[in-house]
Chains A and B, each alone.
Chain A
Amino acid sequence: MSFMQPSPVKYACSCGILNPINKLFFCRHCPKLRCGFCVSHEIESNFCSNCLENIPSTEARHKKNCCANCFDCPCCHHTLSPRATAVPVVRKSEESKDKDKEGESGADSSPATPSTKPSALPTTKKMYYLSCLSCRWTTRDVGIPDQGVATGTWPDNESLYQARFNTLMEYYQSLVLQEKQEKQEFQRRKAPKHNKYPSLTDRTGLTVSLIRRQIGWSDKNLSKTKPVNITPAEASAEVDDLPADIFTQPINLRSITTISQRHSQPADQPEAVNKLYPQRRSLWIKRSLRCRQCEHNLIKPEYHPTSIKYRIQLFASYHVPEVVMVRCEQPLQPGQANAILLKFTNPTMFDMTISLLETAPQEVLQQACRIKEEAVTSSPLLKATGVTLSRQNSTREIKREVLDVANAKLVPLESPFVLSQRDDSKEFDEDVQAPSEEPKFIVWRKANKVLLRLQFTPDAELKPGQLVTLGFYMQYTYVNTVSNTQDKKDPTTHALHSRIFIESGSIGN
């Protein structure tokens, strides 16, 4: 069974959502489980997923988050690939040949054969057109002329309303600037010496004026920028009549665009397929995830688009013991005692003591976490007036109740058990297992893995076909090598717990 299928074993995240372990993260500073829902997502880098070019965020914004070189097919949204064709160029005289050569110097691979003899021999020149290999659409379909270079020279599709869009954009940008200036002016009058330190996160370039003011210079751009006037759009009830032939001519569906084709070209939304135009491919991002409580990174990918490595990777599977369901011993029947085989794996470099509990153990660590939280939210930096961080602020954690319920009764294990540390070299060792005193429920043990037998009884009132869910708290000792406080340098040992649900299968008929 592959990891691509939904896993029967789910862990309750600290936000209360159930997830398989491969979708969970473990914040070492809190220390708690986190999932994609309860962390803040940040853009790490922009890149084009087709040409794998890394594009800095300012450039990406400038290019409207589109790749400069790659195009999507307007017909089926697949990537277009450039195709080269040889176009015969007939050279009649020296003059035209020289001209041609000049024109070709920009082209990358045109085989310009320099011959001194004046000849009228037809020579070929490489020309490129874009073609979709999924639906066989080409730029020739809509009459876009072939280009001498494969990338970079494709003309943009100027829509009818482009000028209008530009003026609107300009207007609103100046409006934003004006409001910002007014607000700052107001704050300067109200509290002249309040914020001593300019924030580095302000992105509008107003920090310069802030500094100028602090040294006592006057603001350079005090001149009020008045927004340019725009002509408001007017609604009109007059609509052109439908063309007469729409009632008489049969419709050729192949020449009419589909809804998704129109939506992919929002500026003009063409109705006929001969108005389709190659669309610039939108960029992709790499994300880094950040714990909202302590603001530490959980995941930070490496910058380069082709790299698959992380600079920070706090996956739950690296820190929390993994529980794998092997099988149930008998077919599931309501009210009949059964047993399930579970495999526990210790991913850490320290031994773990694990106990399976039916109720939540005492909360010990809450306190430390609270203090940390408080410290972050009340930091003076955040309270700096008029400045807001672009990032989401850290929030106080609201505990969500885990709604899922178990419907089987477990027979608790007699004693806790120890999972040995992970040791990669043991993989190659001969299997010498010192026969030690083992609790009865342990089936086998090998390196950092333990297979154990857990007895349970599905509830008596379950009907055939219903899922039997086992639920328990797994308490484990976790050795934390990072500490929240500066003075402690030794690794600290915590007793952590996570709630685990196992879908052991459905009741047989």
Chain B
Amino acid sequence: MEIADTYYSKDEYVETASGNKVSRHTVLCGSQNIVLNGKVIVQSGAIIRGDLANVRAGRYCVISKNSVIRPPYKQFSKGIAFFPMHIGDHVFIGEGAVVSAATIGSFVYIGKNAIIGRRCTLKDCCVIEDGAVLPPETNVSSYMRYTAKGTIEGGQGNPYFVPAAMQDEMVNYTKSFYEHFVRTPAPAS
């Protein structure tokens, strides 16, 4: 099914030169430590904690409403440290997701209200189902699907859990999401 147009009002979103569309109703802490590589959508209510450590998101990422992007910390004997977080290209983060991963590869789909625990590693082309809970330090490898039940399914070449052409699917999806995320046309007056 074709993605329906999502409209936003001109006052609500800021568009940067590189094509990022960032809502004004977000909490971007430490914005000097946040790098959005272009054509990234950050919807209202999202929180990105750049004050704790650097956050870098690739091109064509979608960070949906009320999601929290929070760099992970690790405890050492002498203190704690927050680690920078890297998000690849064409990554979709669903509404209300809490993401505290160490790295997220490219072409990753994170469902609504998913919880990604501290220092998880999500490899390229993996899927996290809606409402799935990943305990800290979980590794999800490519073409795996982490289900809401807490199991890992799939694998490259298994056609039932993650589409074999996941890379193309995510590229198409994030690109058309960006293209269909348009400003409300000015009322004809």
Contact = CB atoms under 8 A, between A and B. Distances in A.
Asked if A and B are interacting partners, one says yes
A49 B136 contact: no
Contacts of A343: 2
B2 A1 contact: yes
A315 B163 CA distance: 10
A97 interface: no
Contacts of B165: 22, 313, 315, 317-318
A1 B3 contact: yes
Contact of A301 (B157, B168, B173): B157
B144 interface: yes
Contact of B164 (A3, A81, A313): A313
Interface residues of A, number: 50
A306 B136 contact: no
Contacts of B150: 77-78
A22 B109 CA distance: 16
Contact of A315 (B117, B136, B140, B164): B164
A148 interface: no
A325 B142 contact: no
Interface stretch (A191-199, A280-288, A391-399): A280-288
A284 B141 contact: yes
Given A313-B164, A324-B1, A288 B173 contact: no
B167 interface: yes
Interface stretch (B22-30, B32-40, B50-58, B121-129): B121-129
A327 B3 CA distance: 10
B156 A23 contact: no
Contacts of A305: 141-142
Given A3-B163, A301-B157, A315-B164, A134 B1 contact: no
B155 interface: yes
B156 A301 contact: yes
B159 A23 contact: yes
A289 B159 contact: yes
Given A4-B127, A325-B2, A133 B136 contact: yes
A4 B111 contact: yes
A36 interface: yes
Contacts of A134: 135-136
Nearest to A36: B159
B168 A286 contact: no
A8 to B, nearest CB: 6
Given A79-B137, A133-B136, A306 B159 contact: no
Which of A8, A36, A284, A315 lies at the interface centre, i.e. has the most chain B CB atoms within 10 A of its CB?
Answer: A284
Interface in B126-176: 127, 135-144, 150, 152, 155-160, 163-169, 172-173
A308 B155 CA distance: 10
A471 B160 CA distance: 24
B92 interface: yes
Interface in A250-296: 284-289
Contacts of B2: 1, 324-327, 343
A284 B173 CA distance: 28
A212 to B, nearest CB: 39
Contact of B117 (A133, A301, A324): A133
Contact of B157 (A4, A5, A9, A44): A44
B77 interface: yes
Contacts of B136: 81, 133-134
Contacts of A3: 163, 169, 172-173
Contacts of A317: 165, 168
A315 B2 CA distance: 20
A242 to B, nearest CB: 35
Contacts of B107: 308
Nearest to B160: A36
Nearest to B168: A317
A7 B1 contact: yes
A150 interface: no
Nearest to A342: B2
Interface string B95-109: 000000000000101
A299 interface: yes
A2 interface: yes
B186 interface: no
Which of B2, B4, B138 lies at the interface centre, i.e. has the most chain A CB atoms within 10 A of its CB?
Answer: B2
A41 B155 CA distance: 12
Contact of A1 (B1, B155, B163): B1
Given A308-B143, A324-B2, A79 B163 contact: no
A318 B165 CA distance: 10
A415 to B, nearest CB: 25
Contacts of B143: 308
Given A4-B127, A308-B124, A22 B4 contact: no
Interface string A1-45: 111110111000000000000110100000000011000010010
A302 to B, nearest CB: 8
A473 B137 CA distance: 49
A78 B152 CA distance: 10
B139 A23 contact: no
A9 B172 CA distance: 17
In order of increasing CB-CB distance, the 6 nearest A-B pairs are A287-B157, A134-B135, A36-B159, A133-B136, A22-B163, A301-B156
Interface of B: 1-4, 77, 92, 107, 109, 111, 117, 123-125, 127, 135-144, 150, 152, 155-160, 163-169, 172-173
Given A49-B144, A308-B123, 8 more contacts: A3-B163, A3-B173, A4-B127, A25-B159, A50-B139, A134-B135, A289-B159, A306-B124
